Chain A
Amino acid sequence: MHGVNVPLVIELTILVLAIFLGVEVISKVPTMLHTPLMSGTNAIHGIVVVGAILVAGRADADTLTLVVGFVAVALGTANVVGGFVVTDRMLEMFKPRAPRQGE
C-alpha cells in the first residue's frame, strides 16, 4: 500500500474539493434532520475501519501491530455498524402526515 506513491498534491486537492463538496451538500440539509445528519456522518467516518483492516492485516505483523490493530478494527466496526443502525432507526420514524389531512 506504500508502493504506489500518490503525489501529496493530488491528495491535498482531493481533500480540499471534498471539503467544499461537503459544505455544499450539507448546507441543504434541513434543521429537522440535523440529528440524523450527525449520526449519519458519524457512521461515515467509521470508514476508518478500512484503514484498521489494512494495518492489522500486514503480513509481517508483530504482536503490537496485531493487538493494537485488532482493537482498532473492533472499534471501527462498532462505529460503522452502530452508526448506520442508529441513523436508520431515527430516519424510519420520520413520516409524513396521514393522507386524510390537507394543509
Chain B
Amino acid sequence: MSRTTTDLLYLVTIVTFILALRFLSSPKRARQGNLLGAAGMALAIGVTLAQPDLENFVPMLVAMAFGAVVGVVGARSVKMTAMPQMVALFNGVGGGAVALIALVEFHNLAPAGLVAEDAVAILLSALIGSVSFSGSLIAFAKLQELIGGRPIVYQGQQLVNAAVLVVALFLGGAIVAGAESDALVVGLILAALAFGVLFVLPIGGADMPVVISLLNAFTGLAASAAGFLLHNNVLIVAGALVGASGTLLTILMGRAMNRSLTNVLFGAFGAVTTAGSGGAGADGRSVRSTTAEDLAIMLGYARKVVFVPGYGLAVAQAQHDVRALAELLEAKGVSVLYGIHPVAGRMPGHMNVLLAEANVPYDQLKEMDEINPELPQTDVVVILGANDVVNPAARTDPSSPIYGMPIIDVDRAAAVVVVKRSMSPGFAGIDNPLFYDPKTSMLFADAKAALEQVAASLKTL
C-alpha cells in the first residue's frame, strides 16, 4: 500500500472520528456515531497492519488479542457507578502506550542523531504520556477506594512536585540538546511517572472528575505529540480532538463548581474547608422531620414534582426505585422531572448515565439551567443524596466556601423534602441552611428504603 493510499485511508478515519463527536450532540444518534468511530478505528488499524515494511506479525497479533480481551472484559463487567474509574484506567493505558512509543523511537533514532523537532516530540510524548499514565492510576485508586479519597498533603508538597518536574524537564532538555543514552528517556519517564502520582495525590476524591477530564486532555495531547514523532496525521488530529474535548470539559466542570483549575489542582479543597463556616450548624436551629407516609401523601397530591439526585442515590443503588416511584406518580397524573447538576456524580454527566441505566427517559432529565426556571412552579422537590449542589449558601452567604457556585434553586419550590441518612454535612463538609428552612422537611433514611416505602404507601392512597 502506497504512502498516499495509506494517508487517504487515515483521512477517512479522521472523518469518522469527527462525525462520531458530532453525533454525540443528540442522544438519538450518539450510539451510531460511536459505532462509526469504532469502524474508523478498525480501518486505521487494518491499514497500519497492511503496511508493506511491517514485520513481527505473530507477536503483534498476540499483543493485540491480549489487549482486546482485557478491554472487552473490563468494559463489559464494570458497573455504571464505577464508570469514572474505568475511564481513568483506559485513559491511563493510552498515556502509557504513548510514553513507550517515545522510548522505542528514541532508542532507534538517537544513534543516527535526532532532528530537533523529533527530540521535542519525544520529550513531550514521554512526559505527558507518563504523567497521564500514573496520574490516571492514582485517580483510579482513589475512586475505587484502594487509597483514601481525602487529599494527601504534607509540608513543602508544592516544592517537591516542582523539583520532580524540574528533573523531568532537565532530562528532556538533555534529549533535545542531542544526548543519546536510553537512560535519559527512561529517567524522564520515571520522573514524569513520579510527578503524575504526586500531582494527583493531594487532590480530593470530589475533584476527581476534573482531574480525569484533565488527564484525558493530556493523553490526547500526548497522542498528538506521538503523531508529530511518527509523522502521522491521524494521530495528530485524533489527539487534538481529544485534547480540545478534555480541556473544554475541565473548564466546564470548574465553572460548575465556581472554582478555578488552579484551585482544584493545588487547593486541597476537602482538607481545609471542613473547619470553615461550621459554627452556624449547632446553634439550636431546628429541622422538621417527616415520614415516608407523609411524603407519599405530599407527592400523590402534587401537580409537579422534581427529583434532585446526587451521588448518594447511586451509592444506595436506588436509581431503579426512583424511576418506579416516578412511574407511579405519572400514572396518577403528576408531572415528574429530574433536575441534574453538572457535577452530580463522579464525572460530568455521570448521573444522567446512571438514571438512563435505570430506564429513566432522557427527556425527563433536565440540566440545571433548564430546571431552575421550573422550580417556582414546582409543588415538591425531593432531594436524594445531594447536598452542596442545592445549598442556598452558594447564593446568599459570601463567607461560604462554595459562595458563587451555580446551584439548583430548590428553595424556590413550594416544598422541599430532603432524603438523607443523617444531618452529617456533605463531601466538602459545609453546613446547609436549606435543612433549616421552614418549608423543608427531612426524611432520615437510606434513599433506597425510603423510596420503596414511599412507593408502597402511594399504592394504598
Contacts and interface: CB of A to CB of B under 8 A. Distances in A.
Interface of A: 1-2, 4-6, 8, 11, 14-15, 18-23, 25-62, 64-66, 68-98, 101, 103
B107 A84 contact: no
Given A33-B352, A46-B90, A47-B239, 4 more contacts: A45-B94, A77-B68, A78-B74, A90-B80
A35 B345 CA distance: 10
B96 to A, nearest CB: 5
B334 to A, nearest CB: 13
Interface of B: 3, 13, 17-18, 20-22, 24-28, 30-31, 33-35, 37-38, 41, 44-45, 48-49, 51, 53-57, 59-60, 62-64, 66-68, 70-72, 74-76, 78, 80, 83-84, 86-87, 89-91, 93-94, 96-98, 100-101, 103-105, 107-109, 117, 182, 212-213, 216, 219-220, 222-224, 226-246, 248-249, 252, 330, 340, 342, 345, 347-350, 352-353, 356-357, 359, 361-365, 367
B231 A46 contact: no
A2 B367 CA distance: 49
Contacts of B30: 33, 36, 91, 94
16 contacts: A11-B231, A21-B240, A22-B21, A25-B25, A26-B244, A40-B21, A41-B21, A42-B90, A42-B242, A57-B51, A65-B107, A75-B100, A78-B68, A78-B70, A91-B31, A92-B31
A19 B49 CA distance: 28
B64 A77 contact: yes
Contacts of B67: 49, 73-81
B24 A31 contact: no
A30 B25 contact: yes
Nearest to A71: B100
Given A46-B94, A88-B31, A53 B55 contact: no
What are the 9 tightest A-B residue pairs by CB atom distance, in nearest-first order?
A22-B244, A77-B67, A34-B349, A81-B71, A82-B71, A18-B240, A97-B361, A85-B75, A34-B348
A95 B362 contact: yes
Contact of A39 (B87, B104, B228): B87
Contact of A81 (B57, B75, B89, B98): B75
Given A68-B104, A84-B38, A41 B242 contact: yes
A40 B187 CA distance: 32
Nearest to B93: A75
B70 to A, nearest CB: 5
Contact of B230 (A51, A84, A103): A51
A11 B349 contact: no
Contact of A32 (B66, B223, B349): B349
A85 B74 CA distance: 9
